[in-house]
């Protein structure tokens, strides 16, 4: 199986008529994803290479049965776009856009939790997710992902999401679903959300987790692994050489007061029974050992 998306998922692209939305919307469709609609109130009634454009997500859902949305709206419009998608009736919102103000993220995160508890938000500032061979929603290159399981991947880093997929493909290991949760301060979906979903998925038999410096998400994930995971977990935490107190790439990757360091996160994960690689390649090699032990 897969988590969050599969070959039955129908996706509406908010921003399909823009250059990036069009590029990735068509690329995802070519991969096999059911990209059924786009939205743009000024271009309703037109199409993008045969994909119909509607004025709103609600109209797109009513006409096409879309169950997910992928957002390529510029940052100032993301707050409204997320709420439009939730009120429009989709179950999953994948927000690729970077540069969304943290205040906006906190606002719609809490509004979704309060008013639309059945809607899952992934991102903002994430690469999206891919269930290899079934659906690709976002900006992940489909050719670097091997289908067939048995490993699930969850990552804060976009680039390292791709490397994790590539490392496993090089080792001839398939993936059920790879989820890039993004590195912003208020992610819509957490490590724990994904770990719980992988734990419940019968075809995911092991999990690779990619973390980075800043915040406490990895330590919280370690606690969840120790208390609630029966499946083996392999991890890599980026930022071992990051200077203390420096922001490194992501808005959430800030170390302060000695907390949020890569070393502290790695120690917490090891204490939870997670196999921790010192680089992505080593994490891939550790997963080879884990998968071999499954059989």
Q: The tokens of 72 are what?
A: 């390529």
Q: 18: burial class by Cβ within 10 Å (0-12, 13-18, 19+)?
A: middle
Write out 37-84 in H/E/C secondary structure.
EEECCCCCCCEECCEEEECCHHHHHHHHCCCEEEECCCHHHHHHHHHH
Active centre residues (catalytic): 250
Token pair 């879309």: residue = 66
Closest CA to 173 of 22, 21, 287, 71: 287
What is the layout of strands, in order, in the sheet containing 128-131? Answer: 135-138, 128-131, 174-180, 150-155, 206-212, 233-238, 275-277
């Amino acid at each position: 199986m897969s988590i969050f998306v599969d070959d039955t998922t129908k996706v509406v692209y908010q921003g399909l008529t823009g250059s990036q939305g069009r590029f990735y919307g068509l690329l995802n469709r070519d991969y096999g994803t059911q990209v059924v609609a786009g939205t743009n109130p000024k271009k309703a009634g037109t199409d993008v290479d045969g994909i119909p454009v509607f004025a709103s997500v609600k109209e797109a859902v009513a006409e096409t049965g879309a169950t997910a949305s992928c957002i390529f709206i510029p940052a100032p419009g993301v707050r409204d776009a997320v709420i439009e998608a939730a009120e429009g009736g989709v179950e999953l919102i994948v927000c690729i856009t970077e540069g969304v103000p943290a205040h906006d993220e906190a606002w719609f995160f809490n509004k979704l939790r309060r008013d639309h508890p059945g809607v899952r938000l992934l991102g903002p500032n994430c690469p999206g997710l891919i269930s290899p061979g079934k659906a690709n929603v976002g900006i992940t290159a489909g050719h670097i992902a091997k289908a067939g399981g048995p490993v699930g991947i969850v990552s804060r880093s976009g680039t390292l999401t791709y490397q994790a997929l590539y490392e496993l493909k090089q080792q001839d290991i398939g993936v059920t679903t790879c989820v890039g949760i993004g590195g912003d301060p208020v992610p819509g979906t957490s490590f724990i959300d994904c770990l719980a979903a992988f734990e419940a998925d019968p075809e995911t038999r092991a999990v690779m987790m990619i973390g980075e410096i800043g915040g406490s998400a990895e330590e919280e994930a370690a606690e969840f692994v120790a208390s609630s995971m029966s499946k083996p977990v392999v991890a890599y935490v980026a930022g071992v050489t990051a200077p203390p107190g420096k922001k490194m790439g992501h808005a959430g990757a800030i170390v302060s007061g000695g907390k949020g360091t890569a070393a502290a996160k790695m120690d917490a994960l090891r204490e939870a029974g997670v196999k921790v690689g010192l680089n992505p390649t080593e994490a891939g090699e550790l997963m080879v050992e884990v998968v071999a032990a499954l059989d």
